[in-house]
Structure 1
Amino acid sequence: MTSETRVTSVEEVENGFQRELDTDRWAAAETAYALAVRHRDGGNWDQSREWVQQCLRLLEGFPSDAEEQVATRRLSVGGVQLPTYLHEGVVRDRFGDIALTNDT
């Protein structure tokens, strides 16, 4: 059996995020991270910053004391490989200045 990963469009990933936001906030955080990567890699810095901030807001609601609490559940979203662990430190490390809020 072969496994093919189809890179979905940004619009499809954003639609998935909207569904997840109502049903699975952790999945929504993973998807927000993937959208931030997609926009950053496409050179759309403003959109990337918005998705980074959305991801960070979602992660605020989750405990992060142990590895199993921050372990991602999926390997990739929309063609973006997710980090093994997803928490504020990882997001800030991966996105640098983009992760800073406008008022910082």
Structure 2
Amino acid sequence: MTNSTRVASAEELESVFQQELSTNRWAAAESAYALAVRHREAGDWDKSREWVHQCLRLLEGFPSDTEEQVATTRVSVGGVALPNYLHEGVVRDRFGENL
């Protein structure tokens, strides 16, 4: 998705996620976070939870010792604002401990 400010549908975001999964796992984690937010906003709690888990699984593969290591590379994905830093603590803070 070249225009990061355009509001994309969940289906478009899922397509982007699938492409990123094989080429850029960090971007895929950012997209999974965006999908979790998008589904939560739509009231689809089960789908949101699935994407939160996908995001957390992807984040497990990255170091998180410094701010530089967890800094997001984009401001938004498909119209969903990303946090400045993406790591397990941020995700759990935004979506709750009991995922």
What range describes the TM-score normalised by the shorter chain of this pair?
over 0.9
Two-structure CA RMSD over aligned residues (Å):
1.5
- 2:89 equivalent in structure 1: 89
Instruction: Report the secondary structure of 2:96's partner residue.
Output: helix
CA distance in 1, matches of 2:86, 2:9: 23
CA distance in 1, matches of 2:59, 2:34: 14
| Structural mapping, 1:41-80, within 5 Å | 41-80=41-80
- Confirm whether residue 33 of structure 1 aligns to residue 29 of structure 2: no
1:6 CA displacement: 1.6
Instruction: Report the secondary structure of 2:94's partner residue.
Output: helix
CA distance in 2, matches of 1:9, 1:68: 30
CA distance in 2, matches of 1:4, 1:11: 15
CA distance in 2, matches of 1:21, 1:87: 17
CA distance in 2, matches of 1:4, 1:75: 8
After superposition, the Cα gap between the structure-2 partners of 1:26 and 1:4, relative to the gap in structure 1 and judged at 3 Å, is: closer
The structure whose Rg is larger is 1
After superposition, the Cα gap between the structure-2 partners of 1:4 and 1:14, relative to the gap in structure 1 and judged at 3 Å, is: closer
Would you identify which runs of 4 or more consecutive aligned residues in structure 1 move more than 2 Å?
none
- Aligned residue pairs total 97
Unpaired segments of 5 or more residues in structure 2?
none
* TM value normalised by structure 2: 0.94
- Whichever residue aligns with residue 94 of structure 2, its letter is R
CA distance in 1, matches of 2:35, 2:81: 11
Q: Deviations over 1:43-85 (max 9, x none)?
A: 0000000000000000000000000000000000011000000
Greater relative CO, 1 or 2 (CA 8 Å, sep 6+): 2
